[in-house]
Amino acid sequence: MSHTPLFKHRIHQMLQGQHLTEPWVGTFNIGLAVLILLNVLALMLETVPELYTEWHLLFDIFEIFSITLFIAEYLLRLWVANLTPRYQKPLSGRLRYLLSPLALVDLLAFLPSLLLMSGLDLRFLRMLRLFRVLRLLHIPRFNKAMYSIWEAARSKKAEFMIAGTIMFVLLILCSSLAYFAEHEAQPKAFSSIPASLWWGIMTMTTVGYGDIYPITVIGKIIASFFAALGIGFFALPSAILASALIEQARKTEASDTCPHCGRKLKE
């Protein structure tokens, strides 16, 4: 490690999002996020026949440009992988890195396009490039925030289980009552209780997809009641998480404050 060139260390810091105060580190991470989002946008626009017919050459050039950058970044990450403690061994460490979830996501960022060039149409897999934004969550600043959210959610797991159970019971009850109220009037739409679950989910989430809806008076009353009830109960998990995040923020603030003088501790 001590004989490792300084250039390799700087590349490792840049790829890992360390030393965010350095302008070039921030520039790299912002540029990577923009490139990923532009790739997803390009894939979406390619499905518009008029746009792809007129601008297909530009789409192809951008795709080749993106693949080149993704491959270069992948090889750089493989080169500096042994600077991470758990991948420290030159050969076995790099093999472990190649099989890690984030490395596999990196591979899928360009592999489908290479297979497409060989004749296999795997364009839909290019949407997986969006998952590469997950790398930004491993930047220390974001990593700390994600850890806080995870700890907040874990501290309220009992409340989440209770809320989930209540929502499940309400969904079954809503679908069952709708089935008995609407089955005779709409035997195809409400053919069974499992078939009515689709309508129950749409009603309780207040999305109201519109392909199935009650036509009887009793069915409409049931739908109205459970639609209003669904607003409150499906908002319950959000309220639980918000409460947990506030508690977590207070704990973090307390741990960063001196218990004697009340001043914030320096990092």
**Domains by residue range for the chain, with CATH:** 6-135 (1.20.120.350), 153-255 (1.10.287.70)
Residue 237 banded pLDDT, cuts 50, 70, 90: confident
Higher pLDDT, 205 or 181: 181
Taking residues 37-54, report their average pLDDT: 82
Q: Which of 94-108, 114-128, 176-190, 227-241 has the lowest mean pLDDT?
A: 114-128
Taking residues 187-204, report their average pLDDT: 84
| Residue 136, token pair as written in the block | 């930004």
Higher pLDDT, 124 or 90: 90
Q: Is the pLDDT of residue 217 over 80?
A: yes
| Residue 263, token pair as written in the block | 């001043």
Higher pLDDT, 181 or 144: 181
Burial class (CB in 10 A: 0-12, 13-18, 19+), 121: exposed
Mean pLDDT rounded to a whole number for the chain: 76
Taking residues 214-227, report their average pLDDT: 86
Burial of 217-237, coded b for 16+ CB within 10 Å and e otherwise, reads: eebeebbeebbeebeebeebb
For the stretch 60-92, pLDDT in tens is 898 889 888 888 888 888 888 888 777 877 778
The answer to pTM > 0.75 is no
Single out the residue of 202, 198, 208, 204 nearest to residue 232, CA to CA.
204
